[in-house]
């Protein structure tokens, strides 16, 4: 009895269509189909695998009598479903871009950083060391030249020495900028691999940079001179603000003057950060220099808060991390005198720990926005095709 019941279960539920339609002769099938609506017949035609040969023949005959082209209707339905899915995809993706929590994004950046801490330290540390010594050597060289200049207004007649001071500092900052740009490129490669589910290595990331080193250096120079323009604009803006305060008979303190200068520099650098995704575009998508700059501007549209957080954490955090050892040494100078070399090492270590955050954030922002832009473009193309 149990074997009989199992056999009936297998027949009825493993092959239900065959049981029903084999039990009905074709004449009964024809009569049954004549009572169905066009939509019901098209639904059956859309699932031919459930029909027996007799049922399929009867259905085909009834559709022919009603002059219904089932193939054309099925193509229209598939196209409608595809467009509906495309619209659904657009509606799901676009709110993500607008409502994505900045806090969640920052958490993701920190998660990526903490998950691969030593990798990012190895990628950024050479730039911090090179940048530190380049800037210090530039300042020392400029200081040596300045010590030979006369005090007061007499230095105005020594334009050659003044240009030498400027050039020494300029070269120091340029070398530092190029070193950080190369490390940024390597970090972009690492973030791209992590986003793709690949465990990156420092050698693979540096190899990716070597393949694009020429374009990366050209892009870095372009961004460096844009930064110089931004800093100059910040200087003019701060002078304009101080002039307005002077016209209103205000007498700002040193703190207010420094605060105005800091805010003006921060504002212009925030505008400049719209190009922060140019290096990720060049490294991850092999964009050309000009294309990478415009791509960055496109993908950072409306991302002011995210850019501000990444920029502030790097500039403020890096400054504090770099100067904190010297501040502490000044506070305890009366009790303990720490060697300057020790303070420099601690300062470099602090900056090394803080700086990757901004670069990881820019790279991760590019990966996400590029993927979103690509998916939106495909959905829109599908909708219009």
pLDDT (0 to 100) of residue 71: 60
Per-residue H/E/C for 212-247: CHHHHHHHHHHHHHHHHHHHHHHHHHHHHHHHHHHH
Contact 325, 343 (CB under 8 A): yes
pLDDT (0 to 100) of residue 287: 93
pLDDT surpassing 90 at residue 60: no
Length of the chain equals 385
- Cα 186 to chain center, whole Å? 15
| 187 Rama sector, left if φ>0, alpha if ψ -120 to 50, beta otherwise | alpha
> In whole angstroms, what is the distance from residue 26 CA to residue 160 CA?
105
pLDDT (0 to 100) of residue 144: 85
Selection from 273, 238, 285, 286 nearest residue 259 by Cα: 238
| 367 Rama sector, left if φ>0, alpha if ψ -120 to 50, beta otherwise | alpha
pLDDT band per the 50, 70, 90 thresholds, residue 97: very low
pLDDT (0 to 100) of residue 211: 93
> In whole angstroms, what is the distance from residue 310 CA to residue 362 CA?
8
In the predicted model, what is the mean pLDDT of residues 112-123? 94
pLDDT band per the 50, 70, 90 thresholds, residue 25: low
Question: 141-199: per-residue pLDDT in tens?
Answer: 888 887 877 776 666 666 787 888 888 899 999 999 999 999 999 999 999 999 888 88
Residue 355: burial class (beta carbons within 10 Å; 0-12, 13-18, 19+): buried
| CB half-sphere exposure, 204, CA atoms < 13 A | 13
The better pLDDT of the pair 32, 335 is held by 335
pLDDT (0 to 100) of residue 153: 60
pLDDT surpassing 50 at residue 84: no
The better pLDDT of the pair 304, 74 is held by 304
pLDDT (0 to 100) of residue 88: 43
Question: 348-381: per-residue pLDDT in tens?
Answer: 999 999 999 999 999 999 998 988 877 666 565 5
pLDDT (0 to 100) of residue 215: 94
pLDDT surpassing 90 at residue 293: yes
Most confident range, picked from 58-67, 144-153, 248-257: 248-257
pLDDT (0 to 100) of residue 87: 43
> In whole angstroms, what is the distance from residue 244 CA to residue 252 CA?
11
pLDDT (0 to 100) of residue 75: 52
Question: 183-241: per-residue pLDDT in tens?
Answer: 999 999 999 999 888 888 999 999 999 999 999 999 999 999 999 998 899 889 888 88
pLDDT over 70, % of the chain: 75
In the predicted model, what is the mean pLDDT of residues 124-153? 86
The better pLDDT of the pair 253, 226 is held by 226
pLDDT surpassing 50 at residue 96: no
The helix, strand and coil proportions of the chain, stated in percent and rounded to the nearest 5, come to 85, 0, 15
Contact 52, 21 (CB under 8 A): yes
Selection from 281, 292, 175, 290 nearest residue 224 by Cα: 175
């Amino acid at each position: 009895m149990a074997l009989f019941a199992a056999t009936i279960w297998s027949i009825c539920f493993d092959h239900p269509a065959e049981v029903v339609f084999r039990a009905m002769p074709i004449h009964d099938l024809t009569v049954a189909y004549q009572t169905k609506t066009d939509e019901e017949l098209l639904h059956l035609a859309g699932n031919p695998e459930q029909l027996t040969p007799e049922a399929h023949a009867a259905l085909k005959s009834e559709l022919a009598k009603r002059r219904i082209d089932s193939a054309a209707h099925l193509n229209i339905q598939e196209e409608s479903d595809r467009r509906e899915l495309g619209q659904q995809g657009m509606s799901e993706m676009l709110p993500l871009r607008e409502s994505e929590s900045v806090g969640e994004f920052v958490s993701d950046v920190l998660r990526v950083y903490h998950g691969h801490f030593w990798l990012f330290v190895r990628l950024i540390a050479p730039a911090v060391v090179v940048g530190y010594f380049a800037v210090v050597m530039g300042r020392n060289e400029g200081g040596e030249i300045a010590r030979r200049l006369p005090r007061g207004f007499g230095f105005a007649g020594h334009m050659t020495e003044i240009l030498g001071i400027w050039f020494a500092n300029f070269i120091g900052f340029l070398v530092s900028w190029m070193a950080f740009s190369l490390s940024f490129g390597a970090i972009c490669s690492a973030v791209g691999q992590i986003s793709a589910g690949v465990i990156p290595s420092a050698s693979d990331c540096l190899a990716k940079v070597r393949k694009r080193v020429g374009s990366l250096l050209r892009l870095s120079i372009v961004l460096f001179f844009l930064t110089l323009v931004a800093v100059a604009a910040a200087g003019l803006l701060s002078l304009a603000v101080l002039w307005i305060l002077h016209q209103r008979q205000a007498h700002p303190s040193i703190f207010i003057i420094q605060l105005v200068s800091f805010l003006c520099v921060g504002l212009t650098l925030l505008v400049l950060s719209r190009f922060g995704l140019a290096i990720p575009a060049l490294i991850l998508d092999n964009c050309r220099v000009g294309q990478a700059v415009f791509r960055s501007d496109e993908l950072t549209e409306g991302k002011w808060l995210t850019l501000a957080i990444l920029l502030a954490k790097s500039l403020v955090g890096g400054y504090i991390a770099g100067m904190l050892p010297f501040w502490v040494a000044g506070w305890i100078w009366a009790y303990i005198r720490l060697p300057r070399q020790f303070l420099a090492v601690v300062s470099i270590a602090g900056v090394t720990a803080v700086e990757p955050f901004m670069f990881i954030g820019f790279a991760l922002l590019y990966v996400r926005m590029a993927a979103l832009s690509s998916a939106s473009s495909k959905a829109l193309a599908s909708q219009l095709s």
